[in-house]
Amino acid sequence: MIRQQLSQYHPRGRRPHLQIIVDLTTLQKRGKFKDYENLVNVFNGKRGLHLVVVYLVVGRWRIPWSFRIYRGKGHATPAQLGLRLVRQLPRWLKRQFQVMVLADTAFGSVEFLKGIRSMRLNAITGVRRDRVLEDDRRLWQLHKPGQQIRLQGLDFPVTVDWFYLPRDGANQPCKRYVVSTKPLKASTIVWWGKHRWQIEGFFKTAKYRFGLHRFAQKTVKGMYRWLILSLVAFLLAHWGYLSLDSKQLPDWGVAATIILESCLVEVVVAVFLAEIEKKRTLLQQHGLDIQITRCKM
């Protein structure tokens, strides 16, 4: 279904861009989880389940494509998991669209940049301000945006730029550095770099509107089922929002209702009938009785 929808997307002009956004989010958890305690660990001061997610953006489409769980030290790093997810993307996506990989600072390692380049893709990733150049200078010592540099450990040049990002509770905005494996103008790199933040809006929506972080299943299989159901629910509701052809911010309640009534009619009817049975005694006390009969189509 996703392939069918994306294959029909042919805007005028050049081949459209596909944004492959890679990021890590934490589903914070407290307490003990015996059946999958090896999956719950502390990372960056947060205890919980850490998901590396690939999120696709094409035109108005927003697609949570796949995820992997970061298991902590001694296992694959977030950058390695991100590379695996990008490698597993189907070839038809790369053929149909111009691909740009966008990632946060956690994925700005030498290994990640080399891996993306080996797949013949381009990436724009965040990097730490203290990254070392070949001449032993640090990124924060640069004064000219848009110049090509060589980071230690990389055998190819990258283009660097930076922008200022407001932070909650801070008087001064935070200076964020980004590098591009493709030679681009400084303004273009910043434009792409800021687009990575689209996934942050998705994380908040998936957690607080579709219950992504509310899993409490006792088994690993149950936990995976919950995560997948939450992501599928977001995707279906997003289709409902697109059907409205609205330029306003999504009303996820309305979008979910559209999908329920158009694609999951049996569920709507079953919930309605269950509510009638639940209230039947109350209705009879007021002299009312409801009989449901199947009509001939």
- Asked whether residue 175 falls in the same domain as residue 99, the answer is yes
| pLDDT at res. 217 | 67
The CATH number covering residue 19 comes to 3.90.350.10
Backbone φ and ψ of 81, nearest 5° = -65, -40
Cα separations (Å) of 73 from 25, 28, 40, 44, 70? Answer: 17, 18, 12, 12, 9
| pLDDT at res. 10 | 76
Question: Which of 180, 205, 230 marks a domain boundary?
Answer: 205
Output the pTM of the full model. Answer: 0.85
- Asked whether residue 78 falls in the same domain as residue 173, the answer is yes
Question: Which of 205, 240, 255 marks a domain boundary?
Answer: 205
| pLDDT at res. 9 | 74
- Asked whether residue 257 falls in the same domain as residue 165, the answer is no
Of the candidates 109, 252, 199, the residue with the CA atom closest to the CA atom of residue 260: 252
Unique residue bearing structure tokens 């009879």 = 284
Domain range for residue 15? 2-205
Q: Counting beta carbons within 10 angstroms of the beta carbon of residue 202, is it exposed (0 to 12), middle (13 to 18) or buried (19 or more)?
A: buried
Domain count, the chain: 2
Question: Which of 185, 205, 225 marks a domain boundary?
Answer: 205
Of the candidates 55, 62, 44, 33, the residue with the CA atom closest to the CA atom of residue 238: 62
Q: Which residues of the chain have pLDDT under 50?
A: none
**CA 165/CA 197 separation, integer angstroms:** 11
**CA 86/CA 54 separation, integer angstroms:** 8
| pLDDT at res. 265 | 79
49 contact partners, CB below 8 Å, separation of at least 6? 26, 27, 29, 39, 40, 69, 215, 223
